[in-house]
């Protein structure tokens, strides 16, 4: 079965051991699932939480039980980290604070998590001659060049002013008071450090820049499997509103644009990187779906339609409301205006393309959200309020 799998150059893929840091998160849970179900590789899964991968860890009779081990540890302060990296052939670092509501309200935690805490991981890989796949973000591009042109400038239609290209686009952040950019800036510096380790010390690295990967198990539903006052990323915010039959909140008019990609398409790209080191080492890859671009307002409208179809409930008379970013996120918020990934490099190196349309990915994701949360929300909202 899996042992006869070939890489893109026709070579036999040898089973490897992967130290996956942040394996218990959204992307980590999908990557662990893929690796267990479709490959012979072993995973040393590192995280402080394991809820999203419980079904892969228990019971011990699962066919892959001897290929996945969970290590509950915080990489900030645990001396076991270097040992785990040394035991593995490849380290994948996913650990991060990566919800925008935190960037301007917890900028110190954000910078420490995305830069300082990632430093030992890079150092241990470099010193021990281990390969590293590091998760960065599309946010390191910041704002597009086009966003600085006059609103009516015809150049705004020219892709060279907005398509984001790994080896050519600049990184354009707001001023220091706009603490939103603390995350992007920390991710940019760790990318530069990894790149320099490659250039000066021969580290074999791949950097991944995800463009709004979405799907089941992303973030949490406030008050159900996360804090009531917590603000997750947009998919979970809008899912929460739909499940509770509340209007979806459009920040600053919902005019920002995003390209959304289905997590399962994106995981295919990561697997190609894992199994084709000669093609992936030394590369920075955009991973997104340029065909799935919408404004946040259009996303809200589409999610409302899809959810109505799935739940059988008619949409609200007023399905969306506008809210200012200051009210929603607090002081220091700012936004990326538009995020379209250039796909030249990933196409050339790995021959990868995304497949799933926005409508289809929302249908499968909202079916999951409905199945997982609708009952729990009904119960929570029917409880009499505490005195």
Active site residue ranges? 183
Binders in 19-58 for ligand NAD, by CB under 6 A: 22, 24-28, 47-49
| Residue 97 φ/ψ, nearest 5 degrees | -85, 120
Q: How many positions of this chain bind ligand NAD (CB under 6 A)?
A: 24
**Nearest-approach distance from CB 59 to ligand UDP, in angstroms:** 35
Integer Cα distance of 262 and 91 in angstroms: 24
Scanning 26-34, 65-73, 75-83, 243-251 for contacts with ligand UDP by CB under 6 A, the matching segment is: 243-251
Closest CA to 219 of 237, 232, 210: 232
Rule CB under 6 A: is residue 361 a binding residue for ligand UDP?
no
Which of ligand NAD, ligand UDP, none is residue 76 near (CB under 5 to 8 Å by kind)? Answer: ligand NAD
Scanning 3-11, 32-40, 251-259, 264-272 for contacts with ligand UDP by CB under 6 A, the matching segment is: 251-259
- Which listed residue (24, 28, 100, 319) binds ligand UDP by CB under 6 A? 100
- Which listed residue (19, 75, 125, 274) binds ligand NAD by CB under 6 A? 75
Q: Across-strand partners of 132?
A: 91, 205
- Classify burial at 288, counting beta carbons within 10 Å of its beta carbon; exposed 0-12, middle 13-18, buried 19 or more: buried
Which of ligand UDP, ligand NAD, none is residue 126 near (CB under 5 to 8 Å by kind)? Answer: none
Integer Cα distance of 266 and 239 in angstroms: 21
Integer Cα distance of 352 and 286 in angstroms: 11
Binders in 317-356 for ligand UDP, by CB under 6 A: 335-336
**Nearest-approach distance from CB 240 to ligand NAD, in angstroms:** 16
**Nearest-approach distance from CB 214 to ligand NAD, in angstroms:** 7
Binders in 183-212 for ligand NAD, by CB under 6 A: 210, 212
Q: Angle at CA 250, nearest 5°, toward 249 and 256?
A: 150
* Per-residue CA distances from 223 to 226, 228, 240, 244, 358 (Å): 6, 4, 10, 11, 27
Per-residue burial over 39-52, b if 16 or more Cβ lie within 10 Å, else e, is bbbbbbbbbeebeb
Rule CB under 6 A: is residue 139 a binding residue for ligand UDP?
yes
**Residue 247 or 264 having the CB closest to ligand NAD:** 264
Which region holds residue 219: left if phi is over 0, alpha if psi is between -120 and 50, else beta?
A: left
360 CB neighbour count, 10 Å cutoff: 13
Residue 250 near residue 300, CB atoms below 8 Å: yes
Which of ligand UDP, ligand NAD, none is residue 258 near (CB under 5 to 8 Å by kind)? Answer: ligand UDP
Rule CB under 6 A: is residue 334 a binding residue for ligand NAD?
no
- Which listed residue (95, 121, 184, 251) binds ligand UDP by CB under 6 A? 251
Integer Cα distance of 328 and 37 in angstroms: 40
Q: Which residues bind ligand NAD (CB under 6 A)?
A: 22, 24-28, 47-49, 74-76, 94-96, 98, 113, 117, 135, 137-138, 210, 212-213
């Amino acid at each position: 079965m899996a042992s006869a799998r070939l890489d893109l150059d026709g070579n036999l893929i040898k089973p490897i051991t992967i130290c996956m840091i942040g394996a218990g998160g959204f992307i980590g849970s999908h990557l662990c699932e893929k690796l267990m179900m479709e490959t012979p590789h072993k995973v040393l899964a590192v995280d402080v939480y394991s809820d999203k991968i419980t079904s892969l860890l228990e019971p011990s009779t699962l066919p892959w039980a001897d290929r996945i081990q969970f290590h509950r540890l915080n990489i900030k302060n645990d001396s076991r980290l270097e040992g785990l990296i040394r035991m593995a052939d490849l380290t994948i670092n996913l650990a991060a604070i990566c919800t925008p509501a935190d960037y301007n309200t917890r900028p110190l935690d954000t910078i420490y998590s995305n830069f300082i805490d990632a430093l030992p991981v890079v150092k241990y890989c470099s010193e021990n001659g281990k390969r590293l796949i590091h998760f960065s973000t599309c946010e390191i591009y910041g704002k597009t060049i086009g966003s600085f042109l006059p609103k009516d400038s015809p150049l705004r239609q020219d892709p060279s002013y907005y398509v984001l290209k790994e080896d050519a686009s600049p990184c354009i952040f707001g001023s220091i008071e706009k603490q939103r950019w603390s995350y992007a800036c920390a991710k940019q510096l760790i990318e530069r450090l990894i790149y320099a380790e490659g250039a000066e010390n021969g580290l074999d690295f791949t950097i991944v820049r995800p463009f709004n990967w979405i799907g089941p198990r992303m973030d949490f539903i406030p008050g159900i499997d996360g804090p009531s006052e917590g603000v997750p990323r947009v998919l979970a915010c809008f899912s929460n509103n739909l499940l509770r039959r509340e209007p979806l909140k459009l920040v600053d008019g919902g005019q920002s644009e995003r390209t959304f990609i289905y997590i399962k398409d994106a995981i295919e790209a990561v697997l190609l990187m894992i199994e084709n080191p000669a093609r992936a080492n030394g590369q920075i890859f955009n991973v997104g779906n340029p065909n799935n671009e919408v404004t946040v307002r259009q996303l809200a409208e589409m999610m409302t339609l899809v959810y109505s179809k799935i739940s059988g409930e008619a949409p609200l008379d007023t399905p969306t409301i506008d809210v200012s970013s200051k009210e929603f996120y607090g002081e220091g918020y700012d936004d990326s205006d538009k995020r379209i990934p250039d796909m030249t490099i990933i196409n050339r190196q790995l021959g990868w393309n995304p497949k799933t349309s926005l409508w289809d990915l929302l249908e499968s994701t909202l079916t999951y959200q409905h199945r997982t949360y609708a009952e729990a929300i009904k119960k929570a909202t029917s409880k009499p309020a505490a005195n």
